[in-house]
Amino acid sequence: MSTSTPQARRPTIYDVAKLAGVSPSLVSLVLQNPAKVSDKRREAVKTAIAQLGYRPSRAATTLASSRTKSIGLVIDDYRNLWFVDLLRGLESVLTEHGYQVMLADSRPGENRIKEAADGLLAMHVDGLVIAAEPGATALSGTEVPTVVAGWRNGVPDDADLITNDDDGGGAMAADHLLQLGHRRIGHLSGSGGAAAHRRDGFRGRLHQAGVEPLIVGEEGDTTEEAGYASACWLLDHHPDITAIFAANDTMALGAFGAIKARGLSVPTDITVIGYDNSALAKSRYLELTSVDNRSDVVGVDVAKALLDRIQGAATGPQRKLIAPVLKVRGTTAAPRS
């Protein structure tokens, strides 16, 4: 004979309605569109939900409406932590409106991005956020509201684009190095749209100062491994460089490895500056100077643009730039005389 205590029955929408003194349909309306319910009744329902510990069934909500209350987010590499702040910004807005974010990882390439997006669309997401390189045609005909986060080589014509001002951020990195006195400067770049804008802004500002940057990896990846390989090439072929600007913090980490392998130190021998102000840059161990792309702010604005599209309030595709901020830490210093 079993001696275990049976679990308490899970509260239902009918229990909430009874405790709040309203109809089950009104409880459902509070869960789906609270703005249409009077303050008094809405608060009564919320109080009953809290007292009972009621959790609405997402499946039931989906059946009751044409929406799943889910948003798909496509990124291109879990190893690059820049997207963490983007996700936090997205969720800070979307959760208040009852949406959950579903994440899909994909490597660069038109087919891989399309596969990731198609997988999310198969789950009937209400909208898509693309934080990866979609290619010119990979996302054509998605038939759901779509917002692109960050500069990309291919942005659908009907999608919103919310991005950090990467050209301005690249120029900001150049200004910092020039002000410190550096003139022999290397840059670790990559093939993506964001890397291209950061490279253009960086190179343009150095050219204005009469300095020719040494740029490596324009057609490559932006991973730690790529950063290590590009930094190795720079240090071996141009041993007189005094500073390295990496297209992102992950590549900067690779540069640290290349510098250490040659018996050099940061910033005594080589100054290093990254981009994204990711968790890597903020760690007390690295203390990496980095351009903050303000991904959390990008995420907030992406979420707002997507909700406008879902609710039919958008007037047309928008392009919005978020100003970057330089975070100076312990990896940049004046060149050794």
pLDDT at 191: 87
* pLDDT value at 71 more than 60: yes
Q: Which residue has the higher pLDDT, 316 or 65?
A: 316
| Domain boundary assignment for the chain | 13-64, 70-163+295-322, 166-293
Assess whether the previous peptide bond of 56 is cis (omega < 30° from 0): no
Residue 12 has pLDDT above 90, yes or no: no
Q: What is the pLDDT of residues 306-337, one digit of tens each?
A: 999 888 877 778 889 999 999 999 999 999 87
What's the pLDDT at 68?
78
pLDDT at residue 16 greater than cutoff 80: yes
Per-residue pLDDT band at 136 (split at 50, 70, 90): very low
**Residue 272 to residues 51, 211, 315: CA-CA distances in angstroms?**
54, 17, 43
Q: CA-to-CA distance for 189 and 225, rounded, in angstroms? A: 13
d(CA 232, CA 147): 37
Mean pLDDT of 166-171: 97
Q: Which CATH superfamily is domain 70-163+295-322 in?
A: Response regulator (3.40.50.2300)
pLDDT at 304 exceeding the cut of 60? yes
Give percent of the chain with pLDDT exceeding 90. 54
pLDDT given for residue 90 in this prediction: 95
Q: Give mean pLDDT, residues 245-262.
A: 97
CA distance 87 to 329: 25
How high is the pLDDT of residue 141? Answer: 56
Please give the pLDDT value at position 135.
Answer: 53
Q: What is the pLDDT of residue 13?
A: 83
Query: Is the confidence at residue 109, as pLDDT, over 70?
Result: no
- The domain defined by 13-64 folds into 434 Repressor (Amino-terminal Domain) (1.10.260)
Chain mean pLDDT for the chain: 87
pLDDT digit string (tens) for 38-50? 889 889 999 999 9
Query: pLDDT grade, residue 61 (50/70/90)?
Result: low
User: Quick one: fold of 166-293?
Assistant: Rossmann fold (3.40.50)
Same CATH topology for 70-163+295-322 and 166-293: the answer is yes
Beta strands 271-275 and 243-246 are parallel
